[in-house]
Amino acid sequence: MHDLTMPQWAIDRVLWRRGKLHVFDDIDPRKTALIVVDLQNGFMVPEHTPMPVKTAVETVPHVNRLATAVRETGGKVFWIKNTTNAACLQEWSNWFAMSRPELLQERIDAFAIGSPGHDVYPGLDVRSEDEIVLKHRFSAFIQGSSDLPARLKAGGFEYVLITGTVTNVCCESSARDAMMLNFKTIMVSDCNSAHSDAEHTATLAAFYSLFGDVMDTDTLTGFLRTNAALHAKAA
């Protein structure tokens, strides 16, 4: 698990700009979507990747606990699967061209539909009421990557919780684009994972200071359950 200490400069900037530590402490659980980004064998299991994100497995219990809280308080869980196909190899060719050929082939093989690497990590609690989304870019929200934004808008979701791997690649890209599409976006610190503490911390600090909120699982589940109880009482 990453050892995250939010830098004081980021905290100071948030307090100056927003006046409180968590701008989305009023989160409405009924309008909340948990987005689980790329927690697949191809990023987590050494058998399926030459460069596994070693801390990703440690986030699994936290992701499962958060998924339970989201479902129980009226929200929904979306499992995002990084996917390579012929179309993205052509349409996103410049990125693929930056990799050595052998690494490129490994990625294609790992994340093709039907390959073991494409599967969601088996320790994750995927339920029948959840949704599976295929994405073809780092960000799940950018045009041409997936239909996730359309699904969220159709479902009336306003808040998105970003979890998964890698913190500073697909998770950060998805979180920033979600905010740009006007979703209230929270990155969950102990449900994200990167290749180093430095990358993890730098990403979360930058996101927190300007783009959205950052919470850990305990803080977030507390807000979800408290606000769900308030809504139930008001009804």
Q: Per-domain residue ranges for the chain?
A: 31-71+83-234
Determine the Cα–Cα distance for residues 158 and 166; give it in Å rounded to an integer: 23
What pLDDT was estimated at residue 11? 98
Order of strands, edge to edge, in the sheet holding 32-37? 131-135, 76-82, 32-37, 159-165, 184-193, 213-215
Determine the Cα–Cα distance for residues 166 and 203; give it in Å rounded to an integer: 10
Determine the Cα–Cα distance for residues 56 and 64; give it in Å rounded to an integer: 13
Which residues fall within 8 angstroms of residue 58, CB to CB, at 6 or more apart?
A: 1, 193
- What's the mean pLDDT in 171-197? 98
pTM of the model: 0.96
Which residues fall within 8 angstroms of residue 25, CB to CB, at 6 or more apart?
A: 223
- pLDDT top residue among 122 and 86: 122
What pLDDT was estimated at residue 98? 86
Determine the Cα–Cα distance for residues 100 and 150; give it in Å rounded to an integer: 35
Which letter does DSSP use for residue 121 in this model? P
If pLDDT is split at 50, 70 and 90, which confidence band does 124 have? very high
Report in angstroms the alpha-carbon separations of 206 from 24, 126, 192, 217: 17, 31, 15, 19
- What's the mean pLDDT in 30-55? 94
* CATH classification for the domain delimited by 31-71+83-234, as one of 3.30.420.40, 3.40.50.1100, 3.60.21.10, 3.40.50.850: 3.40.50.850
Amino acid, single-letter form, for residue 73: T
In the predicted model, is pLDDT for residue 197 greater than 90?
yes
Query: Can you tell me whether residue 65 is helix, strand or coil?
Result: helix
What pLDDT was estimated at residue 89? 82
